[in-house]
Amino acid sequence: MSTPTKFLLDESKMPTHWYNIQADLPKPAPAVLHPGTLQPVGPDDLAPLFPMELILQEVSTEREIPIPEPVREVFRLWRPSPLFRAHRLEKLLGTPAKIYYKYEGVSPAGSHKPNTAVPQAWYNAQAGIKKLTTETGAGQWGSSLAFAGALFGIDVTVFQVRVSYDQKPYRRALMETYGARCIASPSNETNSGRAILEKNPNHPGSLGIAISEAVEIAATHDDTKYALGSVLNHVLMHQTIIGQEAIAQLEMAGDDPDVIVGCTGGGSNFAGIAFPFIGQQLRGGKKRRIVAVEPAACPSLTRGKYAYDFGDTGHLTPLTKMHTLGSTFTPPGFHAGGLRYHGMAPLVSHLKELGLIEAVAYHQTQCFQAGVSFARAEGIVPAPEANHAVLGAIEEAMRCKREGKAETILFNLCGHGHFDMSAYISYASGQLVDQPYDESELAMALAGLPSVPA
Ligand SMILES: *Cc1c(COP(=O)(O)O)cnc(C)c1O
């Protein structure tokens, strides 16, 4: 091949700062509200859950926030991550488009999640915190925080959504290998878990419920704080190291993307690749199309309501304005567990409202089909979540083919699927079905949204 396939940044070029898009927004995102008073929450309201450094990052409007050196030192285990040009996929599709992908599966946990798990654990350790609680769906976030906790001497307790706990024993084994304790949610260890189990002892669980359990433990124990793997402003900001590296790597390649694609569960890997590029545009740079791809079975951005809602099912969190399917909505048990969340990051939702990003939704079988084609052409087996981004990029490449346009497409390959091979087995044996979400359950969940005066 005449042009290079792999673009590697030198360690010395790894970003020194996170990019905070709140500095460049044409209009600030709506305030986070206290559910009781409906007044904006202040740093003190969040102090039982998070260390002050992270709370300050959450509300900061500084454009650049330095990455602490001990955090960068851990990042050097796998960062800068590679950028690839997908020559063989381009050829397979017969597209005039150039396709690039940033590969985050090189991290120890196999996804982008350690990019925020490591700084979150570090800031907590700096604040003298000894225990962290969290939730996990498929187990990507739980294993990332377990890894980060092991590095900085923090005990990690993970509430894992019941269906995933049963279906994915290897992710649980990974968490336990890193030293974390893993509990199936809903559990008997919290009031919110017990309340759910009383109504339905066989409840499959959901991210919303697992968040309630983890938050409840942190809120009621002085030595324990809570860590969230997506959705929050500071989490999205930690992921911007992805897009900053991609900007430098595409410069090496002599290219500039016209379209950027990412999958969205809570919105963090999408924000990670897209926000640095959107920031360039907001400061007067090139306008690009930015496409968020979500599962058709849990379509918060494309079918949800932009409204104030709780982040959890037990209603322990503050209210944020976001695209939501309702905090009591239980998404069907499709295979991209990391995308089964009822809401969307407030910053991603805000950008959607401002018309700065687009969103599409695809069913899981077509995503797996795209993932298998990608694996056969490029060698990497994507995580089921990442298959949504793969399909989004392929759809863009096929549009370029129809329109005869040689556009440049960049997508985030946010993780590998080595722990998700049971999903690939289901796909290969024809057992994967496309589950539409339940319209009546969605209507009920949306009817239950908290009422917040405009
Ligand atoms: C957790 C996860 C997601 C979804 O979370 P975002 O915050 O939307 O990025 C997507 N892909 C992978 C591989 C994940 O582990």
- Hey, what are 142's tokens? 């739980």
Q: What's residue 374's pLDDT?
A: 98
Q: Is the CB of 218 under 6 A from ligand 1?
A: no
- Give every CB contact of residue 342 below 8 A, 6+ residues apart in sequence: 206, 207, 208, 298, 300, 304, 309, 324, 325, 326, 327, 329, 331, 445
Lowest mean pLDDT among 137-141, 182-186, 363-367, 398-402: 137-141
Atom of ligand 1 minimally distant from the CA of 140: 15
Q: Residue 340 — φ and ψ, nearest 5°?
A: -90, 60
* Residue % of the chain over a pLDDT of 90: 88
Contact between residue 145 and residue 131 where contact means Cβ atoms under 8 Å apart: no
pLDDT tens digits, one per residue of 112-150? 999 999 999 999 999 999 999 999 988 999 999 999 999
Contact between residue 164 and residue 171 where contact means Cβ atoms under 8 Å apart: yes
pLDDT, average across residues 86-93? 98
Distance from C-alpha of 375 to C-alpha of 395, rounded to nearest angstrom:
16
Q: Is the CB of 317 under 6 A from ligand 1?
A: no
Domains and CATH numbers, the chain: 68-110+234-439 (3.40.50.1100)
Atom of ligand 1 minimally distant from the CA of 105: 13
Distance from C-alpha of 192 to C-alpha of 160, rounded to nearest angstrom:
14
Distance from C-alpha of 405 to C-alpha of 395, rounded to nearest angstrom:
13
Residue nearest ligand 1's atom 3 by CA: 338
- Hey, what are 9's tokens? 């940044």
Residue count (the chain)? 454
Distance from C-alpha of 408 to C-alpha of 400, rounded to nearest angstrom:
9
- DSSP 3-state assignment of 339? helix
Q: What's residue 2's pLDDT?
A: 65
Contact between residue 250 and residue 83 where contact means Cβ atoms under 8 Å apart: yes
- Residue from 101, 268, 270 to probe ligand 1 pocket by mutation (most atoms less than 8 Å from CB): 268
pLDDT, average across residues 275-284? 98
- Hey, what are 303's tokens? 């079918």
Distance from C-alpha of 193 to C-alpha of 199, rounded to nearest angstrom:
10
Q: Residue 117 — φ and ψ, nearest 5°?
A: -60, -40
pLDDT tens digits, one per residue of 45-71? 999 999 999 999 999 999 999 999 999
Residue nearest ligand 1's atom 13 by CA: 415
Going from the Cα of 113 to the center of ligand 1, the distance in angstroms, rounded, reads 7
Q: What's residue 444's pLDDT?
A: 87
Contact between residue 59 and residue 31 where contact means Cβ atoms under 8 Å apart: no
- DSSP 3-state assignment of 311? coil
Q: Round the CA-based radius of gyration of the chain to a whole number and report it.
A: 20
Q: Is the CB of 419 under 6 A from ligand 1?
A: no
Q: Is 60 exceeded by the pLDDT of residue 1?
A: no
Atom of ligand 1 minimally distant from the CA of 111: 13
Q: What DSSP letter does each residue of 245-305 carry, written as one string?
A: HHHHHHHHHT---SEEEEE-SSSHHHHHHHHHHHHHHHTT----EEEEEEETTS-HHHHSE
Q: How many Å from the N-terminal Cα to the C-terminal Cα in the chain?
A: 58
Q: Is 60 exceeded by the pLDDT of residue 357?
A: yes
